[in-house]
Amino acid sequence: MEKTAKKTVISLRDIFVRFDGEVILNHINLDIREKEFVTILGPSGCGKTTTLRIIGGFVSPDSGDVIFDGEKINDLPPNKRSVNTVFQKYSLFPHLNVFDNVAFGLKLKKVPKDEIKKKVTKMLATVDLKGYEKRSVQKLSGGQQQRVAIARALVCDPEVILLDEPLGALDLKLRKSMQLELKEIQRQTEKTFIYVTHDQEEALTMSDRVVVMNNGSIEQIGTPEDIYNEPVNAFVADFIGEANILNGIMIDDCRVRILGKELECVDKGFGTNTPVDVVIRPEDIQITSPEDGQLTGVVQSSIFKGVHYEMSVMCGKCEIIVQSTKSAEIGSTVGMRVIPFNIQIMNKLLPIQSNTIETTVTYADESAQYFEFELEGETITVKDKYIPKGKRVRVYLPFDALSITGAGDGDLKDVYIESVVYKGEHNEIILESDSRKWLMLSDTDEQVATYVPLYFDFSKASFEILDSAEEKEG
Amino acid sequence: MKTRKLTIPYIIWMLVFTMIPIVMIGITAFTDKSGNFSLANFQSAFHYSGVFTKSLLIALISTAICLVVAYPLAYMMTRMKKSTQNTVIMLIMIPMWMNFLLRIYAWVILLQKNGPIDSALSMLGIHGTYIGNTAAVIAGMVYEYLPFMVLPIYTVMSKIDNGLIEAAQDLGSNNAAVFGKVVFPLSIPGIISGITMVFVPSASTFLVSQYLGGTDDIMIGDVIDKIFWTDQNTGSAISLVMMVFIFIFLVIMNLFGDEEAIA
C-alpha cells in the first residue's frame, strides 16, 4: 500500500522510436516511482537499452513525451538532467585516477574543493573502495571499476540512477555479491534505480518492480512475484524462470484441457473452447503413483541439481519438466498432479489456427501446373497446383508448412524472429514480416531478434477459391 | 625461434645501411682529412650555428602551424560520417603519392611572379613577392608535413570511446567541458606523436628552402647536402650535432607522452 502512495518521478508517455526504418520502441508507457528499484528485463534487441537512453537523454523519441517530476524534458540534453548513468562498459575516464573519476561531476557543478573531497571519500567508503583514491582506474579489476562507476554516478546526488547491464562483464560469483551490494546501496541512498538487464534472476533478486520487454513493447509490469506467478503470456512465462508451457483449450471458466486431460484451474473469463497457453512451473508438479496422477508419463531423465531432482517426463509426445526432491526411476511410468491454483492460463501470443494468405493469382500455367501470386513485393510460386489467373484465393498454411531453413533466399527474405517458446513438443516461433505475423513450429532452437528467410511448403497447404474478384480482374 | 629468423633480413639491412653509416659518420666527424683524431670539425660546424638556429626555428613554427591546422580538422573528422571520414583521409593522402620535388615545384609555380596567386592579388591591386622568403619556406613545409600531423591525431581521437563522451555529458558536461576534460586530454598522445613526426623531418629537411626560400633561408639540411661534396668531416660533425639535438627532442617528447606515441 505504501508503494502506491509514492509519487511518480519519471513518466514515459507513448514513446515511439525508429532507427533506419526499424521500430525500436513501439508506443511505450511507463511510470517510475520515487525510491523504487525498477528493472527493465528483456532479451537483447528488445529495446530496453534504448528506453534507458531516452531517460538519460542520449536518444530523443520520434514521438511521445518524457516527463520528469511533472515537466516535459524531451529536448533537455543529458548534462541538464538530474539523472546519472552507470554504463555497461563502465566508461571510466582512463586519464583520471579513481578520485578524479568520482569527483568529475562535482567539479563541473563547481562544488567547493574541501566538500568534493569529503563527498568523494564518503562515497568511496560506501562502495567499499576506501584508500583507492590515487589508483589508476585502468589497473582496477572489473568489480572495482564497476564500483567506481556506481560511485561516480551516485556522488552527483541525482534523483534517478540508470544502470545499463552493469554486471554483465563480471563473473558469476562477483555478480551475485554485487547484486546484493547494489540493492543495499539503493536502500541506503534512497534513490530511484532503473536497472536494465537480460538476466531474469538478477531482475527477480533486486527489483521492487520488473518491466518485461520484448520486441519494442512492454509485455508486463509487476512485482517479481507477480511476474513469476502470474505471467501474462507465454513469452513472459518462458523468459522468467523455468516453465512448462503447453497448448491448452479453455473449455469453460476454471476448466482447461491439456494433453487430452481435463483439469481444474482458477482462471476465468477466457470464454468457452478457447485455445490458450498454459503454464505450470516445474516445482509445482507433484509426482504420484500412476493411478493417482491427473497426467501420466514416462520418466526420460533425472538430474540431481542439489536441492532437487530435475526430471523430464514424456506425456505422449510432449515433454514436461518436473522438479522434485524425490527422484523417480528412469523408464518408469509416473503420475503427476498440480493443484488448480498453480495452473496459470494465458492468452495465446498469436491466436491463429493456421497462417492464411488472401491473395489474387497473378500468373498461372495449366500445363506446367503452377501459379504465382504477390506477397510483400515478392513473387511466390506455388508448384503442383493450378488456379487460374485473376482468381481470388485463400491459402491456409499449417504451422508445420513454414520453415526458416532451406536453399536460396526463401519465399520471403529477412523475416524477424519475434519469439521462440518451447511447448514441450516443438518450439513455437512467431515471425514478423513487413505486413504481418506468422506462426511456425520448429524442433531447433532459433535465436530471437534475428532475421531469417522464410520458406513455404505448399504441398501441406490447402486452398479455397473465393470467386468474388474474378470479374474485376477480367 | 621461427619468428626470430624472420627478422634476419631486417637486421642485416639495419646493420649494413643504418648502423655502419652512423658509425662511419661518428668516426669521420672526429677525424681530420688525413684520418687523425681532431675536434676541428666541430669548430667549423660552429660557423653554421646561425643556420642551425634558424632551421630549428622554422621547423618549430611549421610544426606549430601544422598543429593548429590539423587538430581542429582531425576533431571534425571524427564527428563526420564514416564514409566522409574515409574520403577526407583520401584527400589528405593523395598528395603524398606524388613525388616530393613535384609538390615543391607546385608551390614554386603557385607563388612565383605572375603565378596564380600573384596574378589574382594584382587584379585586386595588391602587389608583392610571395616566393624567396621564410614565409614561403614555412608554407611549403606545412604543406609537406601536414598529413603527418593530421593522421596520428585523427587515429588517437577516433579511438576515443563514445561511451566516455556520453559519460561526461551524463555527469553534467556541456560540449566545451566534454572537449576540455575528456577529448583533449585523451588526444595528447596523438599530438605528441604528430609533433614528433613533423618536427624531426622538418628540422633536417632540404630542397624546400632552396626552391622556395631566399638567399638567407638556407637550412641545415641544405648545408649538410652542400658541404658533403667538399668536406665530409665537417658535414659529419654537423650531422652528428643535429642527431644529438633530435635525440634530446625525442627524449623530452617521451616525458610528455607514453612510449607508444613515439614510433
Judge whether A93 is closer than 8 Å to chain B, CB to CB.
yes
Judge whether A109 is closer than 8 Å to chain B, CB to CB.
yes
On chain B, the residues whose CB falls within 8 A of the CB of A92 are 167
pLDDT digits (tens, 9 = 90+) for A142-184: 888 988 998 999 899 898 999 999 888 778 888 888 888 889 8
Pick A105's closest partner by Cβ from B163, B166, B172.
Answer: B172
| Confidence tier at B257 by pLDDT (50, 70, 90) | low
Establish, for the pair of chains A and B, how many residue pairs have beta carbons separated by less than 8 Å: 58
Mutate to test the interface with B, among A79, A136, A152, A156 (most CBs of B within 10 A): A79
| Confidence tier at A449 by pLDDT (50, 70, 90) | confident
Give the residue on A whose Cα is nearest the Cα of B167: A91
Residue A4 has pLDDT above 80, yes or no: no
Pick B166's closest partner by Cβ from A58, A152, A156.
Answer: A58
Mutate to test the interface with B, among A60, A93, A145 (most CBs of B within 10 A): A93
Contact across the interface for A105 and B185, Cβ inside 8 Å? no
Q: Averaged over A75-100, what is the pLDDT?
A: 91
Give the residue on B whose Cα is nearest the Cα of A56: B170
Judge whether A104 is closer than 8 Å to chain B, CB to CB.
yes
Q: Averaged over A410-427, what is the pLDDT?
A: 86
Whole-number pLDDT of residue B2: 62
Residue A401 DSSP class: G
Whole-number pLDDT of residue B160: 92
Lowest mean pLDDT among A44-58, A64-78, A91-105, B244-258: B244-258
Pick A91's closest partner by Cβ from B166, B172, B173.
Answer: B166
Any bridge partners for residue A396, and if so which?
A356, A462
Residue B195 has pLDDT above 60, yes or no: yes
| Confidence tier at B262 by pLDDT (50, 70, 90) | very low
Residue A41 has pLDDT above 90, yes or no: yes
Whole-number pLDDT of residue B261: 41
Share of chain B above pLDDT 90, in %: 54
C-alpha A77/C-alpha B142 separation (Å) is 39
Tell me how far apart the terminal alpha carbons of chain B are, to the nearest angstrom: 25
Judge whether A77 is closer than 8 Å to chain B, CB to CB.
yes
Please provide the DSSP assignment of A22-78 as one string.
Answer: EEEEEEEEEEEETT-EEEEE--TTSSHHHHHHHHHTSS--SEEEEEETTEE-TT--G
Residue A474 has pLDDT above 80, yes or no: no
pLDDT digits (tens, 9 = 90+) for B82-135: 999 999 999 998 888 888 889 999 999 999 888 888 899 988 888 888 888 899
Distance from CA of A190 to the nearest CA of B (A): 20
Contact across the interface for A79 and B169, Cβ inside 8 Å? yes
pLDDT digits (tens, 9 = 90+) for B202-216: 988 888 888 898 888
On chain A, the residues whose CB falls within 8 A of the CB of B170 are 56, 78-79, 83-85, 153
Residue A343 DSSP class: -
pLDDT digits (tens, 9 = 90+) for A221-257: 999 999 998 899 888 998 888 889 998 999 988 889 9
Whole-number pLDDT of residue A162: 94
pLDDT digits (tens, 9 = 90+) for A364-404: 888 889 999 988 888 888 888 888 888 888 999 998 888 88
Domain A2-234 and domain A235-347 have a common topology: no
Share of chain A above pLDDT 70, in %: 97
| Confidence tier at A468 by pLDDT (50, 70, 90) | low
Sign of CA dihedral A90, A91, A92, A95: positive
Distance from CA of A391 to the nearest CA of B (A): 49
What CATH class is the domain A2-234?
alpha beta
Pick A108's closest partner by Cβ from B161, B166, B172.
Answer: B172
Whole-number pLDDT of residue A97: 93
pLDDT digits (tens, 9 = 90+) for B217-228: 888 988 888 888
Please provide the DSSP assignment of A422-439 as one string.
Answer: E-SSSEEEEEE-SS-EEE
Distance from CA of B201 to the nearest CA of A (A): 30
List the alpha helices (DSSP H) in A62-195. 98-108, 113-126, 142-154, 172-189
Share of chain B above pLDDT 70, in %: 97
For residues A167-187, b (16+ Cβ closer than 10 Å) or e, as one string?
bbebeeebbeebbebbbebbe
Report whether B138 contacts B209 (CB < 8 A). Answer: no
Distance from CA of A306 to the nearest CA of B (A): 42
What CATH class is the domain A235-347?
mainly beta
Any bridge partners for residue A264, and if so which?
A255
Whole-number pLDDT of residue A211: 95
Contact across the interface for A79 and B174, Cβ inside 8 Å? yes
CA-angle at B23, arms to B21 and B25, nearest 5°:
70
| Confidence tier at A44 by pLDDT (50, 70, 90) | confident
Give residue limits of the domains in chain A. Answer: 2-234, 235-347, 355-473
What domains are defined for chain B? 48-223+241-261 (1.10.3720.10)
Average pLDDT, chain A: 88
Contact across the interface for B177 and A87, Cβ inside 8 Å? no
Three-state SS at A388: coil
Distance from CA of A1 to the nearest CA of B (A): 34
Contact across the interface for B171 and A156, Cβ inside 8 Å? yes
Whole-number pLDDT of residue A50: 93
For residues A196-228, b (16+ Cβ closer than 10 Å) or e, as one string?
bbbebebbbebbbbbbbbbbbebbbbbebeebb
Whole-number pLDDT of residue A5: 60
On chain B, the residues whose CB falls within 8 A of the CB of A57 are 169
Contact across the interface for A104 and B170, Cβ inside 8 Å? no
Distance from CA of A131 to the nearest CA of B (A): 23
Dihedral Cα B40, B43, B45, B48, nearest 10 deg: -150
| Confidence tier at B258 by pLDDT (50, 70, 90) | low
Average pLDDT, chain B: 89
* Complex-level ipTM: 0.77
Mutate to test the interface with A, among B170, B181, B184 (most CBs of A within 10 A): B170
Whole-number pLDDT of residue B263: 38
| Confidence tier at A36 by pLDDT (50, 70, 90) | very high
Which chain B residues touch A if contact means CB-CB below 8 Å?
Answer: 161, 163-164, 166-174, 177, 181-182, 185-186
Whole-number pLDDT of residue B1: 55
A354: left (phi over 0), alpha (psi -120 to 50) or beta: beta
